[in-house]
Amino acid sequence: MKTLTLTRPDDWHLHVRTGTILKTVLPYTARQFARAVIMPNLKPPVTTVDQALAYRDEIRAAVPKGLDFTPLMTLYLTAATTEAEIKKASESEIIHAFKLYPAGATTHSDSGVADIVAAYLLFGAMEKHQIPLLIHGEVTDADCDIFDRERLFIDRYLGDIIKHFPDLRVVLEHVTTAEAVQFVESAGNNVAATITPQHLLYNRNALFAGGIRPHHYCLPVLKREQHRLALVSAATSGNPKFFLGTDSAPHIIETKENACGCAGCFSAPVALELYAEAFESVDALDKLEGFASFYGADFYRLPRNSGTITLKKSSWDVPSSYGENGVSIAPLKANEFMSWKAQYFDSH
């Protein structure tokens, strides 16, 4: 296969930051994706509809002229979130979900939920008002092995959440383990999951190949090969519970390559190419369109996109960094060879 044409896809999990970094990274997403679910973990976090409206305006101003891109906004769930705000969000055309970060689980999660059970009243309001809950599914206990954090969250909390709120639509974000895949597969149709390119392509050895590899450090952290294979199997299965969410998370090189590097992989400039590589590795390119373009839209009850984007079999080298004017961000596959290249999208 030399070309692959897809209905224009969406990214159901994306970080774009704000200010100069936003202006630097957003065009890469807008060139490939029609829509993206925007994560709300800024400093301070986006916790109200009014804040999300302002953030949306900033994002839209950063979209290059001639590109059609829609940010799908989310709100950051905190202990101070009210049912009134949940109702207001559900009535807003721009808010598409609430995001649950266990406090301390990842970048800018300090304002997250410290007591999951105490948030049940909020989950009930979200179920009542039919707005999805997006979950960063990790426990944050200091004595917990970092490679077990997702599995333990599922065991301790996720099953009970689904049991108590059977009509709540839940997305388990950036799943990384065979246990997470099994949970989503066995749950009802109200439970889905996003899968990132890094978790499809790499196992935890990639963190230490020839030395510490900070640009492969993300949260949830990369896992064993058996888990990567489970994710590839889920993504390429045609099961509509699993769909594309890059979790592209830009950090300037200086904050990644230091004594305490931050978590996050920047994949936006090469996102579709990375997924194509993963799907091609198991001879499943025919399953990429559903995963990238259909299943997420269906779960979020949004129309599927019109227009297309074409990937061409073409050898090229990924740049060492992207950005200018003092912003330099290293992408996944920096200075490495890739065999697919996104060519264009046709809005007609």
Residue 247 catalytic? yes
Q: How confident is the model at residue 325 (pLDDT cuts 50, 70, 90)?
A: confident
Distance CA 287, CA 234 (A): 11
Distance CA 226, CA 179 (A): 11
* Weakest-pLDDT range from 97-111, 256-270, 326-340: 97-111
CA distances from 257 to 196, 212, 215 (A): 22, 10, 8
> Binding residue per annotation — 164?
no
pLDDT per residue as tens digits for the range 261-304: 999 999 999 999 999 999 999 999 999 999 999 999 999 999 99
> Binding residue per annotation — 115?
no
Instruction: Return the beta strands (E) in 94-132 as ranges.
Output: 95-100
> Binding residue per annotation — 251?
yes
Res. 125: pLDDT tops 70: yes
Distance CA 62, CA 111 (A): 27
Question: What fold characterizes domain 3-343?
Answer: TIM Barrel (3.20.20)
pLDDT per residue as tens digits for the range 61-101: 999 999 999 999 999 999 999 999 999 999 999 999 999 99
Compute how many other C-beta atoms are within 10 angstroms of the C-beta atom of residue 60.
Answer: 12
Calculate the average pLDDT of the chain. 95
Q: At 256, which amino acid appears?
A: K
| pLDDT of the residue at 348 | 40
Closest-CA residue to 327 (of 225, 253, 241, 230):
253
> Binding residue per annotation — 43?
no
> Binding residue per annotation — 99?
yes
> Binding residue per annotation — 174?
yes
Distance between start and end Cα atoms, the chain: 24
> Binding residue per annotation — 247?
yes
Distance CA 154, CA 193 (A): 13
Closest-CA residue to 173 (of 109, 111, 127):
109
| pLDDT of the residue at 230 | 98
Distance CA 292, CA 242 (A): 9
Distance CA 171, CA 137 (A): 10
pTM: 0.96
Q: How confident is the model at residue 24 (pLDDT cuts 50, 70, 90)?
A: very high
Q: How confident is the model at residue 344 (pLDDT cuts 50, 70, 90)?
A: low
Q: Which residues of 197-224 are buried (b: 16+ CB within 10 A; e: fewer)?
A: bbbbbbebeebeeeeeebbbbbbbbbbe
Q: What average pLDDT does this structure show over 164-179?
A: 98
User: Helices 178-186 and 225-235 sit at what angle, rounded to 10 degrees?
Assistant: 30
Q: What average pLDDT does this structure show over 103-117?
A: 76
Catalytic residue (one of 141, 148, 247, 317): 247
Instruction: Return the beta strands (E) in 31-110 as ranges.
Output: 35-38, 70-76, 95-100
